[in-house]
Structure 1
Amino acid sequence: MDLTPYVDNLRHELAVAADAGGDEARALAERLTAPLESAARLTLLNALSAAMGEVTRDLAPGSVDVRLRGLDPEFVVTPPPVSEPFREAQVPVATPAAGAPSPADADDGAMARINFRLPAHLKARAEDAAAAEGLSANAWLVRAVSTALDGGERVSPPGRGKESGGRSFTGWVR
């Protein structure tokens, strides 16, 4: 998204307002427009980030992120994961403990923001894992935390389980 037309429009509006104040006001406006350009861009980026935060809250577990490339923001949309069609399992599956709320019961749509600090090597691994699954790092971390707290287990890749015996399952189990 190119912010230049919006910044130019703001510059024009300031010049129009300064014309009403005479020559001194016009000269002052001309001197202020160049330094105000970066402040105007930053304010527009903050507004876009806040708007995308609201969109993400309504789209959860999908997300919309604003990334800055040079002087222009880009929007990255991560749609909610599509659930796979049900297939009857041939192996018993672990279930969450009785009394634990199901994710549907616990999700009231409200979002909360936290600062999460982790070592750079773990961040890189989490980003790689998210990219491999076509998710944003945030969506991948939300899913990982949800799975860990809800008692879900990741099924071992084929050939790595105790009894692979020709049967293999992949995916997330709840």
Structure 2
Amino acid sequence: MDLTPYVDNLRHELAVAANAGGDDARALAERLTAPLESAARLTLLNALSAAMVEVTRELAPGSVDVRLRGLDPEFVVTVPPAPEPFREAQEPVAEPAAAAPPPPADADDGAMARINLRLPAHLKARAEDAAAAEGLSVNAWLVRAVSTALDGGERASLPGRGKDKGSRGFTGWVR
């Protein structure tokens, strides 16, 4: 962003005001315009920075930063990440030719993926009851249920979990 037109406008306004005061005021205004240019640029930069702080507050988690390139500010906009659009499940068109064998149910490669699952209230209550009966969190119970369903009925076990294992897991939200 070029600040020169704004500084020039300020210089012009000062000259117009000085004309009303006569020759001495006009001479003083001409002597003051050169040192005032850097002060005017700094003041404009401070105003732009303060404005971008307010914009960033409204854009969070996105942001707008002001960088100085030479004598002129430059705006750097970081847009917030866009949520992934919801896609309806579609019927599979064709069976994949060669699928890699699934990893064992008890394999834990450390990689996790997050999904949102919407359940009817009565089904959610049943899943919570089933998880509590086995001493598991609802998430762990669902992971095991999905794994069992995908592995053709083989029941996946979660190490160190369940009633008979003395489970001491914690559930809840942390901020």
Cα distance change of structure 1 residues 99 and 31 upon mapping to structure 2, 3 Å threshold: same
Per the alignment, residue 9 of structure 1 pairs with 9
2:172 is matched with which residue: 98, 107, 114? 98
Q: Pairwise mapping of residues 45-64 of structure 1 onto structure 2 (< 5 A)?
A: 45-64=45-64
User: C-alpha distance in 2, partners of 1:46/1:88?
Assistant: 44
Q: Alignment partner of 1:68: what SS? A: strand
Identity across matched positions, percent: 82
User: C-alpha distance in 1, partners of 2:171/2:36?
Assistant: 58
Instruction: State the Cα distance separating 1:81 from its structure 2 match.
Output: 1.1
How many residues of Structure 1 are paired with residues of Structure 2 in the alignment? 97
> Which of structures 1 and 2 has the larger relative contact order (alpha carbons within 8 angstroms, sep 6+)?
1
Cα distance change of structure 1 residues 97 and 51 upon mapping to structure 2, 3 Å threshold: farther
Instruction: Name the aligned partner's letter for residue 172 of structure 2.
Output: A
Per the alignment, residue 26 of structure 1 pairs with 26
User: C-alpha distance in 2, partners of 1:5/1:25?
Assistant: 24
Q: 1:99-120: CA deviations, max 9, x gaps? A: 53xxxxxxxxxxxxxxxxxxxx
User: C-alpha distance in 2, partners of 1:14/1:75?
Assistant: 29
Cα distance change of structure 1 residues 83 and 35 upon mapping to structure 2, 3 Å threshold: same
Cα distance change of structure 1 residues 22 and 59 upon mapping to structure 2, 3 Å threshold: same
Q: Alignment partner of 1:98: what SS? A: coil
Q: 1:12-57: CA deviations, max 9, x gaps? A: 0000000000000000000000000000000000000010111000
Instruction: State the Cα distance separating 1:84 from its structure 2 match.
Output: 3.7
User: C-alpha distance in 2, partners of 1:10/1:51?
Assistant: 20
Cα distance change of structure 1 residues 57 and 24 upon mapping to structure 2, 3 Å threshold: same
Give the number of the structure whose alpha-carbon radius of gyration is greater.
2
Cα distance change of structure 1 residues 16 and 97 upon mapping to structure 2, 3 Å threshold: farther
Per the alignment, residue 108 of structure 1 pairs with none
User: C-alpha distance in 2, partners of 1:18/1:64?
Assistant: 38
**Structure 2 portions without partners, runs of 5+:** 87-113, 117-139, 144-169
**Structure 1 portions without partners, runs of 5+:** 101-149, 151-174
Instruction: State the Cα distance separating 1:77 from its structure 2 match.
Output: 0.5
What TM-score results when the alignment is normalised by the length of structure 2? 0.51
What TM-score results when the alignment is normalised by the length of structure 1? 0.51
Instruction: State the Cα distance separating 1:83 from its structure 2 match.
Output: 3.1
Instruction: State the Cα distance separating 1:88 from its structure 2 match.
Output: 5.2
